[in-house]
Structure 1
Amino acid sequence: MQPSSSSPGAVSRRSMLAGAAALAGATATAAATAVPAQAMSASASTPTADSASASASADVAASADSGRRARAVEGVAEARERLRHALDVQIVAFPQHGVVRTPGTAALLEKAAREGLIDMIGGIDPIGFDEALDEQLDVVFGIADRHGVGVDIHLHDRGEKGMKAMRGIVDRTRALSLAGKVTVSHVFCLPGLSDRELGSIAADLGEQDIALTTVSPSDSLVLPIARLREHGVRVGLGSDGVRDSWSPFGNADMMHRAHILGWVTDVRLDEELTGCYDVAAHGGADVMGLAHADFTAGSPADFVLVRGECLPQVVVDTPRRDMVVHGGVVVARDGEFVG
């Protein structure tokens, strides 16, 4: 489901699209145990609640061939429809080359939202990349407000640049009553804050129900998940790219990403390892507005089976997924997508 391309046209290099291969290697547990499947969030958007859920970012930057960019969104939408029995996908129209610095991009974002092909409008580093904080945020939030879609901003700026962008995001979310519809991914400006500063911005994020996602890239850049959750902030785990033109790494395997989260945060105890899984599974579901797949009455029939003794051991060993079930239907066996 992930088109391969050496240029950023088909699916954005920051794609979170879970394809057949990713689905077959999504998550699980049991010799005699089943583990609820997890979601892929964000992109580090934007980042879902089951083994076959994902946020896909389609590159819509304007270029000499703007039609190609539009076809990227249409292609992902067609793939979503074709595989709707096997996975759930939220599509983000993502301006990989900036909203302001690349003329024509705003019009393409508007078109994608107007035609109902997408679920969210993306943005990227309003200051560090576009060098136009107010202009980019006004465009992105304006489109979201007019067409009833969500917002997914990828924010890599650190220090005051990042915090200024965060304050702009909070202010516009509040002014346009978009609480619950905004996600900020990566958010590298938060980990270095003092406890007081973090508590202040976390309170604002919780009040406006702005979700965050992380790809746990390192111990210095991973979000302070527990502290954010104290303020009711929804935090999910994501996989940044799926072996594309951005990087040869990335497999959309959220169990592997839970393993990486545990590695970079240096966890040791069973409850800590289980917490890493929880962020990947239920945290992703919370970010994308999906029900938890947790084996309770009425929860989605989404789970994965692996051979293992317990959930913490599975997070550490990431064994092969013997079976992936989505909506009560087997969609993968022995690591192979079966349709």
Structure 2
Amino acid sequence: MTVPPNLPLLATPGFVDSHIHPDKTSWGEPWLSRRPAHTLEELIANDRDSQFDFASSTEERAYALLSNALRNGTLGMRAHVDVSTELGLRNIEGVRAAAERLAPHLTVQIVAFPQFGLLTNPGTLDLMAASLGAGADLVGGIDPIGVEGDLHGHLDAVFGLADRAGRDIDIHLHDGGEEGLAEIREIAARTIAGGRQGRVTIGHAFALCDETLPSLGDTLDRVAEAGIWIASCALGPDPVPNIDRFERHGVRLVAGSDGVRDTWSPFGTGSMVDRAHLLAYRTGAMTDAELERVFRIATTAGGAMLGVPDLAEWAGPAAETRLEFAAENLAQLVVDRPAPVRVRRAGADITG
């Protein structure tokens, strides 16, 4: 990028993509035409049908996407990767291999994700356990009621595996309404009972975005007490959080890309500059302070969730880990979405 004359470079912390699915991406492949889907069940079915249709390997597609993210300033990532009886561990192994090719510049934490069911797909729990020795770092879960139909059985399996393996937890939860809030309160109760404060994340958590629900305030308080992280992706028509209310209740929010050019959606670039812009737009950010807050959600908040010091704590413009942009300030950066002029991690310049 050519830097306009007389415009000093703006140094910033690195971006963190706190929720992404690199094993599903078609990045680097020919255009993928999507089938219509109007429900979560239809989206999952489309995804399941496509897993063996890609010409290139999981590693190569994931590497192409992760490389692009790195060039655009993403230095940390929480990657959700499918584990199932159909797929075995191949997606976990492919994404881990891609991540190793970009280490140490890009920090990647992999969540073993039972997209196609944990209890309803017998054998998946054993594969989830095996994945923790094959490259996965965290135990995932998905809609205990909406997908599995068994709130306590699903959470028993997820928390039990995490306890046995000494791993953290990151659960997808799309279920809305009071039922969704009840699921979140149960996750919070188990988090506190197990001493897991700060070690559990809920992705999407659409029920927390519904201001009409009577128990929302109480649920937000319980989420804050449990130290649960909430990951929002601000996709399409999906609900987005009221960031002011989250802050009042002490709920910690991070941002991610979710799917990028996969069967779920043709959109996404893997750039957290773009995602910060989208989150700001979807949540009605207007003032510089509101735009700067969204920038923090997409950078240092994600670093704190990952527990990576050089991404969670920033020492300022001279920091050895930093991005540099042709922008006047953070507010303009979020609005204009420039690519970084320079990406630097631990004293090394990165070209991707």
Q: Into which bin does the TM-score normalised by the smaller protein fall?
A: 0.7 to 0.9
Residues 62-211 of structure 1 mapped to structure 2, 5 A cutoff: 62-63=85-86, 68-113=87-132, 115=133, 117-194=135-212, 197-211=215-229
Equivalent residues of 1:11, 1:58 under 8 A apart:
no
Identity in percent? 37
Deviation at 1:59, TM superposition (A): 0.7
| Compared CA separation, residues 141 and 298, structure 1 to 2 (3 A) | farther
Which segment drifts farther, 73-82 or 248-257?
73-82
Residues 268, 296 of structure 1: alpha-carbon distance in 2 compared, 3 angstrom cutoff: same
The answer to whether the aligner puts 1:281 opposite 2:304 as a matched pair is no
Give the corresponding residue for 1:54: 77
Query: Per-residue deviation at 1:229?
Result: 2.8
1:71 counterpart letter in structure 2 = R
TM superposition shift of 1:294: 5.7
Misfit runs of 4+, over 6 Å? 297-300
- Conserved 8 A contact 2:178-2:213: no
Within 5 Å, which residues of 2 pair with 1:7-26?
A: 7-8=50-51, 19-26=66-73
**What is the CA-CA distance between 1:60 and the residue it aligns to?**
0.4
Output the TM-score relative to the length of structure 1. 0.81
CA contact (8 A) 1:150 1:182 kept: yes
1:171 Cα deviation after fit: 2.1
How many aligned residue pairs are there?
302
Q: CA deviation at 1:176?
A: 2.0
Please list every run of 5 or more consecutive structure 1 residues that lacks an aligned counterpart in the other structure. 27-50
Alignment partner of 1:248 is 2:266: yes
TM-superposed CA distance for 1:246, in Å, is 2.8
Q: State the alpha-carbon separation in 1 of the partners of residues 279 and 303 from structure 2.
A: 17
> How far did residue 18 of structure 1 move?
5.8
Per-residue CA deviations over 1:265-287 (Å, capped at 9, x if unaligned) read: 22221111111111111221222
Structure 2: stretches of 5+ with no match in the other structure: 1-20, 27-31, 33-49
**CA 1:266–1:297: 2 relative to 1, 3 Å:** closer
Q: What is the alpha-carbon distance in structure 1 between the residues aligned to residue 217 and residue 307 of structure 2?
A: 24
Separation (CA, whole Å) in 1 of partners of 2:82 and 2:245: 33
TM norm structure 2 = 0.78
Distance 1:136 1:295, change over 3 A: closer
Task: State the Cα distance separating 1:325 from its structure 2 match.
Answer: 1.0
Shift of the alpha carbon at 1:196? 6.8
1:309-328 Cα shifts (integer Å, max 9, x gaps): 22111111111322111222
Cα pair 2:143 2:174 within 8 Å, conserved: yes
Residues 1:331 and 2:350 aligned together: yes
- Determine which structure has the larger helix proportion and give its number: 2
Distance 2:172 2:260 in 1: 17
Deviates more, 1:216-225 or 1:255-264: 216-225
Q: Do the aligned residues in 1 keep the contact of 2:129 with 2:161 (CA within 8 Å)?
A: yes
SS, match of residue 19 in structure 1 = helix
Can you list the C-alpha shifts for 1:13-46, whole angstroms capped at 9, x where unaligned?
A: xx999611111123xxxxxxxxxxxxxxxxxxxx
